[in-house]
Amino acid sequence: MSDSAWQEPSSTALAGAAERPAADAPHFHRSVGLFSATAVNMIQICGVGPFLTIPAIVAVMNGPLAVIGWIFGAVLAMADGLVWAELGAAMPGAGGTYLYVREAFQYRTGKLMPFLFVWTAMLSIPLIMSTGIIGFVQYLGFFLPNLPAWQTHAIGVVATALVVLALYRRIESIRALSTVLWIIMMLAVGLTIAAAYSDFHLSLATTLPPDAGDPGKFFMGLGAGLIIAIYDYAGYNTTAYMGDELKNPGRVMPRSIIVSIIAMMVLYLAMNVGVIGTVPWQEVAKSTSVASLVVSRNWGHAAAAIVTVLILVAALASVFAGLLGGSRVPFYAARDGVFLAAFGKLHPRHNFPHIALLVMGVVTAAGTFFDLTAVINMLVAVAVLLQSVAQIAALTVLRRRQPNLHRPYRQWLYPVPSLVALVGWLYVFYATDRQSQLMSTGWLILGLIAFLIWARVARQWPFGPKPIREVYLERQADNIATVNSEAHAR
């Protein structure tokens, strides 16, 4: 045996080893490159969000100042995206946040943090889907105006039930749906922007309200605007959930996050400025279907009807895709022994996680009874503590606990982006309304109680052993050994 068989592997070999799944583990084919990954992120970022929220952000930030909200939202998304980039590149897998908090916090609190993350996802994912249903109902008003409140609520519940019914079977892939959704989304966005700039008036887009220079009102509006903006940018982390399918996670993941955020910021600014340059911002702020309003004003009712249909289809398709993927989160966690066992059961005939789907469907339907701004406040407040802030802490903990973990991408200017993201997220949480803060805190307390009951029954920490397993370090060591063995054989 030569000495070279025991030498430290090169950086190239180490990168390959870090990305190579264990030999006996099922894995995806690494086929998604930078362009495809960026497109996937952009699909998840946009959806129907801007068609719903431009009136809200224009209202809270007094018209033209809404562009500041979009820019600040992009800064926060970028800082947070660099947290995702390091964690996702080092631990590429299909679990995203679940994997990161499981690895980072197992040393002190066992399975508590991944349990609480899934518990939070049981509320935050359906609430995101609720906004899609709310948007569907709002844009349906273009064809069915002046519906009483009980009828709009009934339509929302029926629409949710139809989506759940469509999902109540085995569905292997949503790639075709994602492609269709991307085409519909880009058509709707492109047509709205084109219609806006076909009769654009710079004076409308730049006329500031009389109290625009009031610092107190500005920062109050900025907080509310940032909540809306960060909701609209959500989705830049999608590639972190498909790390097993990226050709080169260390390169593709951070680039796809950065490019998608910048691209969507440009689209959002173009749409926002175009809309308020076509319709006075005071009128935009009161609109429930702003895209239909803009297209109707500049191109006529027939063109507006076409764009509205595109948005209606995109809204339902996004809810379909979101509930399909979201229902798998508690299922896989339960199968991994980190969540309530009932959610790990499959439908006896069709083999899909029916319990998780039904529970999330009920929460989605309940969310449709609130107005859009309230739902956005609730889901942001719920997600901040157990995902955003937890991940920032996880990055720091893993750098200290697992310094030898191969990190193909290390956060630029660390820890500055982490600190910017932390301050931004805490400001966003502070800016949410008191009801949302209380609800998120209450949901967290219920999660702690549920964890203690589950841990007692399952004999997990703090009522049982606290096994430590550094999954990615173990995989890295196995793969490096394989690299050395192959090198020795040659």
Q: Is residue 211 part of a domain?
A: yes
Q: What is the pLDDT of residues 369-426, one digit of tens each?
A: 998 888 999 989 988 988 999 999 999 999 999 999 999 999 999 999 999 999 999 9
% of the chain at pLDDT higher than 90: 56
Q: Using DSSP, state whether 114 is helix, strand or coil.
A: helix
| pLDDT score of 304 more than 90 | yes
Say which residues have a Cβ less than 8 Å from residue 410's Cβ, sequence separation at least 6. 86
DSSP string across 254-318: HHHHHHHHHHHHHHHHHHHHHHHTTS-HHHHHT-S-HHHHHHHHHH-HHHHHHHHHHHHHHHHHH
The pLDDT of residue 386 is: 84
Averaged pLDDT, 294-305: 95
| pLDDT score of 225 more than 90 | yes
Closest CA to 395 of 413, 411, 380, 382: 411
Q: What is the pLDDT of residues 236-293, one digit of tens each?
A: 988 887 777 788 888 898 999 999 999 999 999 999 999 999 999 999 999 989 999 9
The pLDDT of residue 56 is: 92
The pLDDT of residue 152 is: 94
Using 50, 70 and 90 to split pLDDT, how confident is the model at 137? very high
The pLDDT of residue 105 is: 96
Using 50, 70 and 90 to split pLDDT, how confident is the model at 177? low
Question: Exposed (0-12), middle (13-18) or buried (19+): which is 160, by Cβ within 10 Å?
Answer: buried
The pLDDT of residue 82 is: 95
The pLDDT of residue 47 is: 76
Range scoring the smallest mean pLDDT among 14-23, 87-96, 304-313: 14-23
| pLDDT score of 26 more than 60 | no
HSE of 200, CA atoms in CB hemisphere, 13 A: 16
Q: What is the pLDDT of residues 57-111, one digit of tens each?
A: 999 988 899 999 999 999 999 999 999 999 999 998 767 898 999 999 999 999 9
The pLDDT of residue 486 is: 75
Distance, in Å, from the CA atom of 216 to the CA atom of 221, rounded to the nearest integer, reads: 9
Averaged pLDDT, 195-207: 92
Q: Is residue 11 part of a domain?
A: no
Q: Report the 10 Å Cβ neighbour count for 451.
A: 23
Q: Using DSSP, state whether 490 is helix, strand or coil.
A: coil
The pLDDT of residue 12 is: 34
Helix orientation angle between 175-197 and 290-299, rounded to the nearest 10 degrees: 50
Distance, in Å, from the CA atom of 229 to the CA atom of 373, rounded to the nearest integer, reads: 12
Q: Spell out a b/e string for 14-39, using b for 16 or more CB atoms within 10 Å of the CB, else e.
A: bbbbbbbeeeeeeeeebebebebbbb
Q: Is residue 83 part of a domain?
A: yes
CATH number of the structural domain spanning residue 268: 1.20.1740.10
Q: Is residue 435 part of a domain?
A: yes
Q: Report the 10 Å Cβ neighbour count for 445.
A: 10
**Token pair for 270:** 């173009």
Q: Is residue 5 part of a domain?
A: no
| pLDDT score of 9 more than 50 | no
Q: Is residue 16 part of a domain?
A: no
The pLDDT of residue 214 is: 80
Q: Is residue 388 part of a domain?
A: yes
| pLDDT score of 27 more than 70 | no
Closest CA to 312 of 5, 52, 17, 58: 52
% of the chain at pLDDT higher than 70: 91
| pLDDT score of 172 more than 70 | no
Mean pLDDT of the chain: 86
The pLDDT of residue 331 is: 87
Distance, in Å, from the CA atom of 93 to the CA atom of 338, rounded to the nearest integer, reads: 17
Domain that holds residue 331: 32-405+414-467
Say which residues have a Cβ less than 8 Å from residue 437's Cβ, sequence separation at least 6. 381, 429
* Rounded alpha-carbon distances, angstroms, from residue 10 to 13, 16, 466, 475, 489: 5, 10, 35, 17, 17
The larger pLDDT score, comparing residue 105 to residue 221, is at 105
The larger pLDDT score, comparing residue 151 to residue 207, is at 151
The pLDDT of residue 2 is: 39
Q: Is residue 488 part of a domain?
A: no
Amino acid in position 432: T
Closest CA to 331 of 320, 315, 343: 343
Distance, in Å, from the CA atom of 14 to the CA atom of 6, rounded to the nearest integer, reads: 14
The pLDDT of residue 176 is: 63
Q: Report the 10 Å Cβ neighbour count for 10.
A: 11
| Number of domains, the chain | 1
